[in-house]
Amino acid sequence: MANLTYISPFFIVSSLRESVAFYVDKLGFKVLFTGPDEDSFFAIVERDNISLMLKVAGEPAPNHTRHEWSRWDAFIHTENPGVLFEEYDVAGVVFHQSLKVDDDGLLGFEIADADGYVLFFGRPNA
């Protein structure tokens, strides 16, 4: 039986420096890789078991800009969204949606990154 443990979304970004800074400075990720050494255009950032790949390669296209009904670019499961919300609030993160139970019965919050990609941090409200 397969044992899938994580997924790494791949976002096209307009500025690698600005995108990496957002994830590191605001969301507490660390840089795993940037390259190539001269004129970097690709990076991998990680926090806990979550990693994101960022690449400068054309125009960013968050899901909601292509389909209004597609609100998220990534769903990031967290056991305690309230604790993470407080951490990000103290860090000065601007929320796309505050902590709440949404119409789908999910407890969590949304953040839009530097290129408008919307990340949902949460879990089913049980």
Do 115 and 61 contact (CB within 8 A), yes or no? no
How confident is residue 123, by pLDDT bands cut at 50, 70 and 90? Answer: very high
- The ranges assigned to domains in the chain are 10-57+70-124
How confident is residue 2, by pLDDT bands cut at 50, 70 and 90? Answer: low
Question: pLDDT tens digits, residue range 57-112?
Answer: 989 988 888 888 778 999 999 999 999 999 999 999 999 999 999 999 999 999 99
Write the burial class of residue 89 (CB in 10 Å: 0-12 exposed, 13-18 middle, 19+ buried).
middle
The single-letter DSSP state of residue 83 is H
Residue 45 tokens, joined: 């950032």
| Proportion of the chain in helix, strand, coil states, percent, rounded to 5 | 20, 40, 40
Question: pLDDT tens digits, residue range 11-39?
Answer: 999 999 999 999 999 999 999 999 998 88
- Class of domain 10-57+70-124 (CATH, top level): alpha beta
Q: In whole angstroms, give the CA distance from residue 110 to residue 72.
A: 8
